[in-house]
């Protein structure tokens, strides 16, 4: 079966750095995606990794290792507004997104 694993909840301090890990086992691979979802709101697209390596976008970076079935989202200079759930998803061989359950990130002052 297809599976996406990520931690249920993480806590970090304002101004610090946090890394959210995601491991996956899917039928094929056409990209790994990270979405941000604030409580009670819609998910919004953050990043996409198709090839191995690091993609940087401002304070957020995402890394992919296809051989290890592993990705992480790195958030730097954390701000209170970064408190949200972060969803990891993989685009499988049928071009359908398989979603993890999400990691709830709590930022403390």
Partner 1 sequence: IAGITQAPTSQILAAGRRMTLRCTQDMRHNAMYWYRQDLGLGLRLIHYSNTAGTTGKGEVPDGYSVSRANTDDFPLTLASAVPSQTSVYFCASSGTEENTGELFFGEGSRLTVL
Residue span binding partner 1 (CB under 8 A) among the ranges 13-21, 27-35, 58-66, 69-77: 27-35
Q: How many residues bind partner 1 (CB under 8 A)?
A: 22
Quick one: which of 12, 20, 22, 33 contacts partner 1 (CB under 8 A)?
33
Verify binding: residue 44, partner 1, rule CB under 8 A. Answer: yes
Number of H helices, E strands in the chain: 0, 11
Residues 6+ apart with CB under 8 A from 74: 17, 18, 19, 20, 60, 61, 62, 63
Verify binding: residue 96, partner 1, rule CB under 8 A. Answer: yes
């Amino acid at each position: 079966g297809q599976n996406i694993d990520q931690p249920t909840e993480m806590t970090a301090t304002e101004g610090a750095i946090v890394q959210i890990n995601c491991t996956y086992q899917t039928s094929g691979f056409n990209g790994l995606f990270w979405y941000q979802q604030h409580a009670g709101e819609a998910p919004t697209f953050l990043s996409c990794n198709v090839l191995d390596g690091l993609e940087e976008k401002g304070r957020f970076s995402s890394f992919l290792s296809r051989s290890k079935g592993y990705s992480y989202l790195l958030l730097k200079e954390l701000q209170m507004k970064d408190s949200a759930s972060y969803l990891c998803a993989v685009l499988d061989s049928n071009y359908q997104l398989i979603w993890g359950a999400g990691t709830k990130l709590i930022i403390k002052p």
